[in-house]
Structure 1
Amino acid sequence: MKTLGIALVLTLAPTLSLAMGCNYGKDKQAMSCAAGSTYDADSKSCLPVSS
């Protein structure tokens, strides 16, 4: 029984650590903006393009 518990913990440990750290250090960014606008990293929003 003890061996089964240790095997289960060793199996799940890497899975849990990867799931918790998958977004570490990543910034959110817009996937796309509407036509005539562009993504501004400072305001983190889409802004109209001025010509």
Structure 2
Amino acid sequence: MIERVKGPSAERLKASVKEAIGKLTGDARVEAEGRRQKQAARPPKPAKPRTD
């Protein structure tokens, strides 16, 4: 069987929902956790080509 791996976009969506729930409920901890997860799910910046 093929195992599906969650992509960065799915993780960002989950983090955005968590952040929004934290804002709606006034729970600063959940909101901060969503923000932190969103930052972690961001793809790394591409490396710049070397210009030697």
TM-score, normalised relative to structure 1:
0.33
Question: Which protein is richer in helix relative to its size?
Answer: 2
Larger radius of gyration: 1
Question: Which protein is richer in strand relative to its size?
Answer: 1
Q: Report 1 or 2 for greater relative contact order, CA contacts < 8 Å, sequence distance ≥ 6.
A: 2
